[in-house]
Each structure stands twice: as C-alpha cells, then as structure tokens.
Amino acid sequence: MNYFLDKDADLRNIDFGNGRAYGKVDEIDFLDQGKGLLIISFNAILKDDLHNCGIQRENNYRLTKPLNSFRVSPYEKAVIFRVEIETSIKKEGFKSIDELEASYENNWFNIYVMRYGAGAGDAKLYTNLFHPPVDACLKITRIKPSHQKKLNNEFSLASAEGISVLELEQELAKRVHSADYLAIYDVGQGNSNALISSTSETCPVVYYDMGCGIGAHASTAPTGLDFCTCNDPLVILSHWDQDHWAGALHIKSKALPLTWVVPRQQLDAVHKSFAHEIVSAGGRLLVLDMPKNKAGSSRLPNGQHLKFTVGLGSSRNNSGIVLAVENNDPQFSSSWLLTGDCAYSHIPKSLQYHPPVAVVAPHHGGVTKLNTVAPSPAIHNGYNRLIYSYGPDNKFRTTRHPTSSSVRIHELAGWDMGIWNAAPGSTSITGNVRATSKHSPSPFERGGVLVGWESLPTLPMMCTLGAPISKY
C-alpha cells in the first residue's frame, strides 16, 4: 500500500528529490465568502516517480490494461502527497468564485516544493492521510492543455469495470430485501451511511460511503473506528472525496475486498491509488455508467423502492451518486434522502421521491448558497430527522460545520432546527436535528444515529463488529 494511504504507517521523513511534482486541484473550500478567502487543496505525485511507474511511460505502456488485472498498484512506491494553500479570489486574479472554480477545478498544475519543515512557508503539506502536516514553501504554475490530457488519461477510470443502471437496479434488488433502518455513523469529519434490512440487528446490507476524518481533521475520527461487514455489504461511493472513503483504511482487510460501486469521475494519484488498493485486496470496483438527468429505480422484495441518480454539476461534489429510499406505506408515502456532498440544486428532477422523513444534509452542513431550496419534511406524526455528519470541534480556519447558511435553508424548508437557530452545532440532539457530534464545551455527544420510518421506541441489537449507534 502506498505510504500516503497507509493508516498504520509510522511517521517518516520523505525524500522529495528535486521537489518537482504534478498536482491536481482536489478541493476549493470557502473560509469567508464575504472577503473571498478560500483554501485550495492539491493532490500531487513526484514527477520522477510518475515517469518511473506510470502506466503510459516509455515502453511500459499499460493505459488500456484493465484496472482489475493489476495485482499491485503501479503507484505503490511513488511519493504522493497533498498540499493546502490559503489564498483569496483577488490574489488568484479572479473577480468571482465561479470564475476561479471554472479555471481551477479538475485542472493539473506544476508544483515545486522548494522548502518544507517547521516555518518553511505558508502552505501545509501532508505526506500521509492520517498524519499532521508540515509547513512548506511552494511554487505553483499552470500545465499546458496537451499535458493535462496525458495526466487525465493516466488517472482516469476508463479501464475499470463498469456497471449499468439496469445492472445496479438488479444488484440492489438482490442484496436489499428491505430498508428497515438508515444508519448514519459517527466517523468524525466525514460521511458513512448504511441501509439495514433487519428489525432485530444493525448489520448493514449497503453502505453509502465509508469515510472518516482525514488530514487536518484526522483527530476527529473516533478511536477504534470500525464497520460491520457481516453481510458482505455493497459499498456505494457517493463521490471520490477522501473523507467519504478513507474510513475503509481503518479496517483494510475487511473493507477493501468488498464490492464498490463508484461514480465515473476524473481521478488523481491519491484516488487512483485507492482504486488499485481495492482491486489488490480482492475487491471489485464497478464504475456506474449513468447519463445525466436519468434516475434508476430498484423495486425491493418488500415493495419499497431504492432510487439513485448522479448530480448535474461539473465538480466532484455535485456530480456524485445520490440515493433515495421510498417506503411502501400507501397511507404515508415518504422517503429517506442521502446526498453525499451534492447540493440540492444539482439533484436532477428525474429523481422523483416522496416527501422525506429523513435527509442526510449535503456536505456535512457546509457553506450553502442563499438561494438554495432544501426539501421540506414529510408531514405525518411529527417524526422527522435531519442528520448532520461532522467531527467534534472541527474547524477549517474560520469555517465550522454546520454553517449558519445550511441551518437557515433547512429552517426555511420547514425543518425544526431547535436551538441551532442561534448556535449551530451546540448540541447533537435538537428539534428535528440529529448530529454525529457537537462542539465544545465538553462532554461531546458523540455517536451514530439510527433512523426508521416512524419513531423508534427501542434500538435493535447492536452489532459489536461495527461503529456504535446511540441516537434515534
């Protein structure tokens, strides 16, 4: 396993050679919308290492070789790392965030690591997903379009095994007999949800993400984080952000050999390495081939429907897989909506679902545009759940989840936000809200959340091999 992904690897000094690397923009996160402050994150690989191990270098041309035929990741020995720079829209030479995103998202850059270590510079450099960063001084320049294409080809999913909409519908109907409970696990600053088909135990049949806190938020992941794999569950990855799949690295031998259904998105060295680790561990990676504006619908044996689509956006967050589960009660038609990091405005209208009893809020309750319209809750007996998954005391410079903008749009849609109207994140249980943790003062109200179709008077028997659930 590449050092960058290995949670159990010891902290070590990395030889950056001449410091020259290829880096792809991974995330653009707001710090302050009003002031135009943001953080741009890049995932990078040393150029010399890529030239030595890449699948399309010199005589080692393996670009069309099926991904599932690689027994060992070709990037296993490469130096892969992540850098974060704090900047502003104005400093980057743009007038708006839309202009900046259009220019930067999904693009590759030359990254030159000039110095690194305590006090070396303003950038943060991570050599491992789970280790703290070091300071770094970087020089970043554009890469010409022709080279961009070669890098995208290197780290694409073109040679991965696919799964069609019909095939996924059939796979879900085969695996999911019923959707009795929805679990939202406490994984820190990340996301992991599961569908449970038993009324007596909490062993998942499908995971929707298997993430955890990483990088600056690695400390938010619970100690001894685990996931139940008793039922050989299917894993559906909403999108390729690390905090939605890195939890699998906590239980490598159990999670990586599973079957993973993933969206067809452009990858970089970090994501492609993880894809190879699934295959190397004996798992199956299936890329969902799904046109925009289409929705799939799987009728479960008990009459419920499990629906899915992909977001309409161009960014990784807003082009991921979205799930909706509908009950089979004609007296109270309702649903659960699982969004990943996809904003409501990018969920296509082709995904028709009943009014939701429960919604897992997009992007952990991140910064939300003021004109966003959230779905209104189902009206029946007062049982509604709006769930936020984030880490305790997580803070990305000045931004803390959930944001007041996320709280506001859900309040406007009719969700009871309780005391969060004044203090988002001050508790994990208020009004319709359930969250996987809260912020200080201690003690933290940590723990997973279990959701049903109507109020849950008692919890089913907890599986001792998975993440704990303490709220409903």
Q: What CATH number is associated with residue 422?
A: 3.60.15
pLDDT, one tens digit per residue, over 368-380 is: 877 889 999 999 8
Among 104-118, 321-335, 365-379, 394-408, which stretch is predicted with the lowest mean pLDDT?
394-408
Record the pTM.
0.95
The rounded distance, in Å, linking the Cα atoms of 456 and 453 is 8
Question: Looking at the predicted structure, is the pLDDT value of residue 96 above 70?
Answer: yes
Residue 148 exposed, middle or buried by CB count within 10 Å (0-12, 13-18, 19+): middle
Shared domain for 430 and 350, answered yes or no, is yes
Last residue of a domain, one of 100, 126, 154: 154
The mean predicted confidence, pLDDT, of the chain is 93
pLDDT, one tens digit per residue, over 109-147 is: 999 999 999 999 999 999 999 999 999 999 999 998 889
Question: Looking at the predicted structure, is the pLDDT value of residue 398 above 70?
Answer: no
Shared domain for 265 and 198, answered yes or no, is yes
**Given this model, what pLDDT does residue 281 score?**
97
Shared domain for 142 and 205, answered yes or no, is no
Element (H, E) at 135: strand 134-142
The encoded tokens of residue 43 equal 């995932």
Work out how many domains the chain is built from and give that number.
2
Shared domain for 336 and 439, answered yes or no, is yes
Shared domain for 106 and 221, answered yes or no, is no
- Residue carrying structure tokens 């509908």: 326
**Given this model, what pLDDT does residue 395 score?**
77
Residue 9 exposed, middle or buried by CB count within 10 Å (0-12, 13-18, 19+): middle
**Given this model, what pLDDT does residue 457 score?**
63
Closest CA to 274 of 108, 69, 71, 73: 73
Last residue of a domain, one of 115, 134, 154: 154
Range of the domain at 202: 161-471
Instruction: Pick left, alpha or beta for residue 380 (phi over 0 → left; psi -120 to 50 → alpha; otherwise beta).
Output: alpha
Shared domain for 100 and 184, answered yes or no, is no
Residue 350 exposed, middle or buried by CB count within 10 Å (0-12, 13-18, 19+): middle
Do you find a cis peptide bond into 402, omega within 30 degrees of 0? yes
| 416 to 186, 362, 420: CA distances (angstroms) | 22, 17, 9
